[in-house]
Amino acid sequence: MESVIYNYIFNYQIFSSFTAFLRFIICGYLTYLFFNIREDAWNFSRNDYIFNSKSYKELCYFYYPQVSLFNYFESTFAQKTIFICFFIFGIFSTIGFLTNFSLLIFFICFVSIQSRIFPIIFNGGDSVSRLLVLCLLLTDCGSRYSIDNLIGISTNQDQVDGWAIRLLQINIAFIYFWSSLYKLNDQFWIEGIIIKNATASKLWGRQLYLKYFSLPIVSKTLTYSVLIFEYFAPLLLLLPETQLLAAFFAMSMHLGICIFMRIGYFAPIMVICACSFMNSLFK
């Protein structure tokens, strides 16, 4: 049994084209996202901003140990340097130039910035996005399909070790499972009220096709579909026979959330997470 588990995790091989695809969508999206919110991110990450004061974090129970360059370099020059490095090495990571080194710098800057601007992105997608970048860092993402390969400083293998991606897949599958346990203890979720109210909300919902979502058969069908998928996600997403179909369902679910709700960047990040199960589509 131990050897089966070991082989499932540590002998997992993924296509180089798949790692390049993940590198492109993960680093490319995160770089684009922060470029769009760069002004807010700059203001929120200032040392003198109220949300970064120790007294505020202790008062609001947000004070926790942070691995952040901002804890050691708090000048305006340091802030500019961290932001510039984030964008430069985000682009380098996306195109696969000095891939491993670029991913390391990108990851350090990304975690540092995130820990300082939590009021504008603190919605669940932040921790998952850090895991995505970390898994790329632990995978040979510069093999074959990269600038590194063109200039002769990377391997040219068809497949690379994917144990970090496998661990990511396991983590994502159990995120869904634990989410289902929470929802099954919530009567409003079971009765389909949450989905109906969320889509109708002026704050969170886009208020599209409300007359259909208000129908009990629609809201309950969507609710039960989500609950069933999330509860059985460890099996559906981790078994080879059902993995691809389950990944497409997860992607459709989160795309639907993107279309009908405003919940920041959590839904797009989870769409990208669903892509991490699609190695079989690449060669």
> How do residues 242-251 score in pLDDT, each as one tens digit?
999 999 999 9
Say what percent of the chain tops pLDDT 70: 92
pLDDT bin (cut points 50, 70, 90) of residue 61 is: low
Q: Which of these three, 133, 148, 163, is where a domain ends?
A: 148
Do 109 and 206 belong to one domain? no
Do 139 and 182 belong to one domain? no
Determine the longest span between alpha carbons in the chain, in angstroms: 60
Do 62 and 183 belong to one domain? no
Give the residue carrying structure tokens 């497949």.
159
Q: If you average pLDDT over each of 59-68, 155-164, 203-212, which comes out highest?
A: 155-164
Q: Residue 135: name the closest of 231, 32, 279 by CA.
A: 279
Cβ contact 197:248 at 8 Å: no
Q: Which of these three, 148, 163, 184, is where a domain ends?
A: 148
Q: Answer whether residue 166 is part of any domain.
A: no
Q: Answer whether residue 157 is part of any domain.
A: no
Q: Which of these three, 114, 148, 182, is where a domain ends?
A: 148
All residues at 6 or more sequence positions from 162 whose CB lies less than 8 Å from its CB, including other chains: 12, 13, 14, 19, 139, 279
pLDDT at 124: 65
Residue 229 CA: distances (Å) to CA of 88, 169, 199, 272, 280: 39, 15, 20, 18, 21
What would the pLDDT profile of 191-221 be if each residue is shown by its tens digit? 888 887 777 777 676 776 677 777 788 888 8
Per-residue pLDDT for 152 more than 80?
yes
Do 176 and 53 belong to one domain? no
Per-residue pLDDT for 62 more than 70?
no
Do 41 and 124 belong to one domain? yes
Do 89 and 206 belong to one domain? no
Total domain count for the chain?
2
* Of 97 and 195, more confident: 97
pLDDT bin (cut points 50, 70, 90) of residue 60 is: low
Q: Answer whether residue 167 is part of any domain.
A: no
Q: Answer whether residue 278 is part of any domain.
A: yes
pLDDT at 126: 82
pLDDT at 122: 52
Q: Give the predicted TM-score (pTM) of the model.
A: 0.90
Beta bridge partners of 15: 159
Q: Answer whether residue 41 is part of any domain.
A: yes
Do 3 and 124 belong to one domain? yes
Cβ contact 141:154 at 8 Å: no
Question: Which residues constitute the domain of residue 222?
Answer: 172-283
Average pLDDT over residues 61-66: 63
Q: Answer whether residue 153 is part of any domain.
A: no
pLDDT bin (cut points 50, 70, 90) of residue 49 is: confident
Q: Answer whether residue 217 is part of any domain.
A: yes
Say what percent of the chain tops pLDDT 90: 55
Do 5 and 99 belong to one domain? yes
Token couple for 140: 């040979």
pLDDT bin (cut points 50, 70, 90) of residue 3 is: confident
Token couple for 30: 């995160």
Do 274 and 214 belong to one domain? yes
Do 4 and 136 belong to one domain? yes
Per-residue pLDDT for 226 more than 90?
yes
Do 221 and 141 belong to one domain? no
Q: Answer whether residue 46 is part of any domain.
A: yes
Residue 113 CA: distances (Å) to CA of 70, 81, 137, 197: 8, 12, 18, 33
Do 10 and 70 belong to one domain? yes
What would the pLDDT profile of 103-142 be if each residue is shown by its tens digit? 999 999 999 998 888 666 655 678 899 999 999 999 999 9
